[in-house]
């Protein structure tokens, strides 16, 4: 059985739908009902609770067997000891997919209870997500078992948006940690990253990373697969599956437990052995999995890899209106394995011609970075970037558009122009952008870039690091003899 | 002569105060006048322009000599060739401090003109900031020669905040790059970092890093000195001065031009030789200058070092409500030279007692990280942190307060409680906090921490890196035999 029902079910039963407002079983049912009522969720939703006749105005069923309809997904939020019995009920009802939210299994040493759950599930051919997880968020279909309300009401009565959901998008995020997954939701929503689906798989008694990579690897809407990992049990299988998927789409992994103390911390957390980091490093490299080394990078890379094609080589050109930022970008590019070559030959001649024609300033530096100085205008950027798009010596472009300089009169127009060039050239080379600061101008400029599928960042170094990842991924595909084929099939995620 | 007049002048003449709205000379005069009118700037302001009778309603003077008053600071915004003549006029007027905004000197090869400027200045004992700089922003006194208006008006008429000024605070920021300085202003304003003063010194014909470090080193309001450097000409002098200052307050430096290509980029930018990175690295270490390796880190470190005392040792305790984030923090701490020791002995016993008394959950992990799980409450944090503050085995505490988990009902109250503990213990150990995401709850929680002088960050790794810097700085002071003395004098910047 596949995993489709976890993400696109036709009907959902919430088993353990509680009347108590703060209980996960209540929140899950409420959010699903709200999504159904507002049209986001197309599936039917049934609360199961033997103690209630109705819940939030919906009739409640004593057990799943009483629901007068086919159920394609069961969300189980009952105390751990009775989960096996509930699975048995699900099996009899013909349910084939169940998310077990309930905790109290192998993560606290109850391995036998988890075994029992699994035996029941196998008996009826039910795929299990969890136990001890927060389940699934699919913003495309409205499936949302994340039992954290959008808002918190503080003790003084103030109501604060607390756990926003990211918009629909193309990043599939697989997280071993539920808390990290929810923190990530807030982070992604703020960074305006779109989610194909988020999956927290907890103890992974049944469905694990290998299954999920395979599923999202074949899913058309998924552009990038993101993973937060502490341990891999079926390591070989994961690598085998990932090796195939990375020929079609990028996988980015943040593996925690890199140090001895980190491994100990991970063991306390999930009762799983994080293992020697070098082995993971080598395995990831072999499978073409791009490794992120911190939380910020994980999402930075996801954004870039979802928007831009991999680079054909590691030669970067930098166009800037700030000399200092140009130097910082150059440093970080070179430190991350990219080359910032001095521009020579035809490229240089074309740029010198712009100078002669007074299109770019006399005191602009053309060696790379191309420093258009504080007198930079949109036109100068356009002319320079077009030369770089045509260049045979450049594989990747970083545009530093620090909006504060006086020359950039309309930074949003500048971003629009860069977006336009990238489309005219059909994304033939990746472009990454930077504008720093958090003023309205900075935020709007970055949003314009992002909406035009040019990933933008708030510091030079973040952009340089994602540029390096675009190169590393392209290099991996090239070594596998797949780069041309990949680029032929690649199209912007519009 | 000292540098005080650059930052706290009694009267300012803007020489080259233009009538054209977009010209730097106009913007500088306008902003100074506005600051004077709204009471921020206590100094008198005089426009000098031989072609105008009045400017923005103020009488204009043909030359500085015509101003019927003492002038303590001249801001010079005239074409480069006439700058020496203007300096001569300033000398005759008795001015002792001049900011030369004008470009067109050694940075474009006109070394002779810069020499001439300097000769004139020396003749009259005038200290020069610049040329080719954006000068000074002092939010405490309203001195603002940054010629970038707060707002940009886009082509469609939309008005966007573009170059906000950071609030008054305790970070002195010295930048070789003017564009980086303005980008940093926007960044700092967004991160709500307070500025003692920002100084862009451009070609540093006279006033250079050594002078500025000395000045802010003795300035009471300055808690941390931040530097963006591409090259140091008086390297030995800078190191000599910095060595003294770092015994009193931290200096953080971002040195660009770390790679060969970066050095080449820096040379194009400032015509200065960036030099071999290893030499800078060694010199910084010797002088106790803390090095930041990217823009984000520069400001992250400035924030932590301005708010918290240095750590007496490298042993970190982590308190978390998210296991995954705890692992990530542990990794990054250890990778940055900190130790995350397993809690044993008395500390462990006290924590186990909390578990027995059901104050913290039975399934909480107490080894370090202390994982309070998603059931964490403010009380649990308070009890755990108090034990850690008392502990003889812990030098530094990282509080991960991921507000999304259901247990944290009021994240702002939690932040307030942590702030309260830190005050009760009189900042006896540094505390750093994390909450992830950009929701209202995340932003308000971080603001509460920051306002209470507990530096907070949006990812675990950012917090771990600043924790490492608090340790490195403490370690430097300890080696110099100055740590105890430093801590005795240290007080929170309230």
Q: Which of residues 58-87 of B touch A (CB under 8 A)?
A: none
Min distance B113 CA to chain A CA atoms (Å) = 17
- Which residue in B183, B371, B412 is closest to A404 by CB distance? B183
User: Counting beta carbons within 10 angstroms of the beta carbon of residue A220, is it exposed (0 to 12), middle (13 to 18) or buried (19 or more)?
Assistant: exposed
- Report how far residue A126's alpha carbon sits from residue B240's, in angstroms, rounded to the nearest whole number: 72
Cross-chain residue pair B461–A402, CB shorter than 8 Å: no
Q: Name the pTM for this structure.
A: 0.96
Contact: B269, A405; criterion CB under 8 Å: no
Q: What confidence tens digit (pLDDT) does each residue in A45-89 have?
A: 999 999 999 999 999 999 999 999 999 999 999 999 999 999 999
Position A272 pLDDT exceeds 60: no
pLDDT in tens, A189-213: 999 999 999 999 999 999 999 999 9
Give the bridge partners for B127, in sequence order. B97
Nearest-neighbour CA in chain B from A486: distance (Å): 31
Q: What mean pLDDT, rounded, does chain B reach?
A: 95
Give the confidence band of A493 by pLDDT, cuts at 50, 70, 90. confident
Q: Which residue is it, tokens 């300012």?
A: B12
Q: B187 in contact with A at a CB cutoff of 8 Å?
A: yes
User: Is the minimum CB–CB distance between B179 and chain A shorter than 8 Å?
Assistant: yes
Name the residue facing B182 among A178, A323, A404 (closest C-beta).
A404
Nearest CB to B371 within list A184, A268, A324: A268
Chain A neighbors of B462, CB-CB under 8 A: 296
Look at residue A271 in the predicted model and tell me its pLDDT: 55
Residue with tokens 């900011």: B99
Q: How far is A65 from chain B (nearest CA, A)?
A: 31
Query: Which residues have C-beta within 8 Å of that of residue B218, sequence separation ≥ 6?
Result: none
Q: In Å, how far is B403's CA from the nearest CA of chain A? A: 7
A17-30 pLDDT, tens digit each = 999 998 999 999 99
Task: Select from B327, B362, B414, B443 the residue whose CB has the most chain A CBs within 10 Å, as the one to mutate to test that interface.
Answer: B327
Question: CA of A436: which chain B residue's CA is closest?
Answer: B183
Q: Could you report how far apart the first and last alpha carbons of chain A are, in Å?
A: 31
Residues of B in contact with A190 (CB under 8 A): 437-439, 442
Which residues in chain B touch residue A256, judged by CB atoms under 8 angstroms apart?
Answer: 324, 327-328, 331
pLDDT at residue A273 above 70? no
Percent of chain B predicted with pLDDT > 90:
91
Distance CA B450, CA B471 (A): 20
- Residue B272: predicted pLDDT: 55
Question: For residue A190, what is the nearest residue in chain B, using CA coordinates?
Answer: B438
pLDDT of residue B75: 98
On whether any CB of chain A is under 8 Å from the CB of B258, the answer is yes
Instruction: Name the E strands within B349-494.
Output: 370-371, 396-400, 431-434, 456-457
pLDDT tens for A121-173 read 999 999 999 999 999 999 999 999 999 999 999 999 999 999 999 999 999 99
The per-residue pLDDT for range B172-181, each reduced to its tens digit, is 999 999 999 9
Burial class (CB in 10 A: 0-12, 13-18, 19+), B35: buried
Instruction: Report the residue of chain A nearest B179, measured CA to CA.
Output: A322
Question: Within 13 Å and on the Cβ side, how many CA atoms surround A49?
Answer: 21
Q: Does A337 touch chain B (CB under 8 A)?
A: no
Residue A269 near chain B (CB below 8 Å): yes
Q: Please indicate if any CB of chain B lies within 8 Å of the CB of A322.
A: yes
Output the pLDDT for position B271. Answer: 55
Measured between alpha carbons, how far is B423 from B211 in angstroms, rounded to an integer? 35
pLDDT at A277: 87
Instruction: Provide the H-helix boundaries in B38-100.
Output: 83-93
Residues of B in contact with A335 (CB under 8 A): 258-259
For chain A positions 3-22, those within 8 Å of chain B (CB to CB) are: 22
Strand order from edge to edge, sheet including B290-292: B143-144, B135-138, B195-200, B168-175, B224-229, B251-255, B290-292
- Contact present, A463 and B212 (Cβ < 8 Å): no
Neighbours of B350 (CB within 10 A): 18
Percentage of residues in chain A having pLDDT higher than 70: 98
Contact residues, chain A, for B145 at CB < 8 Å = none
CB contact under 8 A, A439 and B327: no
Half-sphere exposure of A347 (CA within 13 A, CB side): 21
| Whether pLDDT at A98 is above 80 | yes
Which three-class secondary structure state does DSSP give residue B456? strand
Tell me whether residues B404 and A340 touch, CB distance under 8 A: no
Taking the Cβ of residue A185 and every Cβ of chain B, the question of whether any pair is shorter than 8 Å is answered with yes
On whether any CB of chain B is under 8 Å from the CB of A360, the answer is: no
Q: CB distance B269–A177 less than 8 Å?
A: no
* Cα–Cα distance for residue pair B304/B288, rounded to 1 Å: 16
Contact (CB<8Å) A325/B459: no
Which residues in chain B are contacts of A262 at CB distance < 8 A? Answer: 327-328, 330-331, 334
pLDDT tens, position by position, A317-362: 999 999 999 999 999 999 999 999 999 999 999 999 999 999 999 8
What per-residue confidence (pLDDT) applies to A494?
65
A314 CB within 8 Å of a chain B CB: no
Q: Do residue B324 and residue A163 have CB atoms under 8 angstroms apart?
A: no
The C-alpha atoms of residue B49 and residue B70 are separated, in whole angstroms, by 18
pLDDT at A455: 98
Instruction: Reply yes or no on whether the pLDDT at A268 is more than 80.
Output: no
Residue B427 pLDDT grade (very low, low, confident, very high; cuts 50, 70, 90): very high
Task: Nearest by CB to A269, from B148, B327, B334: name it.
Answer: B327
Q: Which residue of B has its CA nearest to A408?
A: B152
- Quote the pLDDT of residue A264: 85
Pick among B200, B341, B437 to test the A interface (most A CBs inside 10 A): B437
Comparing A22 with A469, the larger pLDDT belongs to A469
Over residues B414-418, the mean pLDDT reads: 98
Confidence of residue B276 (pLDDT cuts 50, 70, 90): confident
Q: Which domains does chain A have, with CATH numbers?
A: 1-132 (3.40.50.720), 148-307 (3.40.50.261), 311-489 (3.40.50.261)
Cα B441 from Cα B141, distance rounded (Å): 34
The yes-or-no verdict on residue B273 having pLDDT over 60 is no
Gap from B177 CA to chain A (nearest CA, Å): 6
Span B159-163, average pLDDT = 96
Does residue B268 surpass a pLDDT of 80? no
User: CB under 8 Å to A487, separation ≥6 — which residues?
Assistant: A309, A310, A312
E-only strand ranges, B122-234: 127-129, 135-138, 143-144, 151-153, 159-161, 168-175, 195-200, 224-229
Task: Give the model's pLDDT for residue A274.
Answer: 57
Residue B263: the pLDDT is 86
| B367/A413 CB distance under 8 A | no
CB contact under 8 A, A365 and B335: no
Q: Which of A57, A56, A116, A43 is nearest to A86 (CA)?
A: A116
Name the percent of chain B lying above pLDDT 70: 98
- Do the Cβ atoms of A295 and B334 come within 8 Å? no
Cα–chain center distance at B423: 24
Q: What is the pLDDT of residues B221-264, one digit of tens each?
A: 999 999 999 889 899 999 999 999 999 999 999 999 898 888 88
Query: In the predicted model, is pLDDT for residue A282 greater than 70?
Result: yes
Please state, as a whole number, how many other Cβ atoms lie within 10 Å of the Cβ of residue B155: 10
Encode pLDDT of A402-436 as tens digits. Answer: 999 888 999 999 999 999 999 999 999 999 999 99
Is the CB of A187 less than 8 angstroms away from the CB of B161? no
Is the Cβ pair B323, A444 closer than 8 Å?
no
Q: Taking CB atoms and an 8 Å cutoff, what residues of chain A touch B448?
A: none
Return the number of CB contacts < 8 Å for A and B.
311
Q: Does A175 touch chain B (CB under 8 A)?
A: yes
Q: Between chains, do A261 and B339 touch, taking CB under 8 Å as contact?
A: yes
Q: With cut-offs at 50, 70 and 90, classify the pLDDT of residue A374.
A: confident
Q: Identify whether the C-beta of residue B227 lies closer than 8 Å to the C-beta of residue B298.
A: no
The answer to whether A331 contacts B187, with C-beta atoms less than 8 Å apart, is no
Given a contact cutoff of 8 angstroms between Cβ atoms, the answer to whether A397 and A463 are in contact is no
pLDDT digits (tens, 9 = 90+) for B100-111: 999 999 988 999
Q: How many angstroms separate the CA of residue A12 from the nearest CA in chain B?
A: 24
- pLDDT attached to residue A263: 86
Predicted local confidence at residue B99, as pLDDT = 98
pLDDT digits (tens, 9 = 90+) for B461-492: 999 999 999 999 999 999 999 999 999 999 99
Residue A143, strand partner residues: A138
Give yes or no for a contact between A137 and A144, defined as CB atoms under 8 angstroms apart.
Answer: yes
Shortest Cα distance, chain B CAs vs residue A225, angstroms: 19
């Amino acid at each position: 059985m596949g995993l489709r029902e976890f993400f696109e079910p036709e009907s959902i039963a919430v088993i353990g739908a509680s009347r108590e407002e703060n209980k996960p079983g209540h929140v899950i049912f409420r959010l699903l009902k709200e999504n159904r009522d507002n049209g986001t969720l197309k599936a039917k939703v049934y609360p199961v609770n033997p103690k209630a006749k109705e819940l939030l105005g919906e009739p409640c069923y004593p057990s799943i067997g009483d629901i007068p309809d086919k159920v394609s997904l069961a969300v189980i939020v009952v105390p751990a000891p009775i989960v096996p019995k509930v699975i048995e009920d699900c099996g009899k009802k013909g349910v084939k997919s169940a998310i077990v939210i309930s905790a109290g299994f192998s993560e606290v040493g109850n391995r036998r209870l988890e075994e029992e759950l699994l035996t029941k599930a196998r008996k009826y051919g039910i795929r299990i997500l969890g136990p001890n997880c927060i389940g699934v968020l699919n913003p495309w279909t409205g499936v949302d078992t994340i039992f954290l309300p959008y808002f918190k009401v503080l003790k003084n009565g103030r109501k604060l948006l607390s756990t926003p959901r990211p918009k629909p998008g193309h990043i599939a995020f697989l997280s071993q940690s539920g808390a990290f997954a929810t923190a990530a939701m807030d982070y992604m929503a703020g960074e305006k990253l779109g989610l194909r689906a988020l999956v927290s798989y907890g103890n992974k008694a049944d469905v694990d990373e290998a299954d999920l990579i395979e599923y999202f690897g074949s899913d058309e809407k998924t552009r990038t697969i993101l993973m937060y990992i502490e341990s891999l049990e079926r390591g070989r299988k994961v690598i085998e599956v990932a090796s195939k998927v990375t020929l079609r789409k990028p996988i980015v992994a943040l593996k925690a437990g890199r140090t001895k103390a980190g491994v100990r911390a991970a063991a306390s957390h999930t009762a799983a052995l994080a293992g020697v980091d070098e082995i993971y490093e080598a395995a990831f490299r072999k499978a073409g999995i791009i490794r992120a080394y911190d939380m910020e990078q994980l999402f930075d890379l996801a954004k870039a890899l979802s928007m831009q094609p991999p680079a054909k080589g590691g030669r970067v050109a930098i166009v800037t209106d700030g000399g200092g930022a140009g130097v910082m970008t150059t440093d970080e590019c070179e430190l991350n394995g990219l080359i910032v070559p001095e521009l020579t030959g035809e490229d240089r001649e074309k740029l010198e011609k712009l100078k002669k024609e007074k299109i770019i300033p006399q005191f602009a530096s053309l060696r790379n970075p191309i420093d258009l100085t504080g007198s930079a205008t949109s036109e100068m950027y356009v002319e320079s970037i077009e030369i770089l798009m045509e260049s045979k010596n450049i594989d990747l472009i970083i545009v530093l558009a620090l909006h504060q300089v006086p020359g950039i009169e309309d930074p949003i127009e500048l971003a629009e122009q860069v977006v336009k060039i990238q489309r005219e050239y059909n994304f033939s080379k990746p472009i990454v952008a930077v504008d720093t600061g958090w003023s309205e101008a900075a935020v709007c400029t970055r949003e314009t870039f992002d909406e035009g599928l040019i990933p933008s960042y708030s510091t030079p170094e973040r952009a340089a690091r994602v540029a390096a990842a675009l190169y590393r991924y392209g290099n991996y595909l090239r070594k596998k003899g797949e780069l041309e084929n990949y680029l032929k099939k690649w199209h912007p995620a519009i």
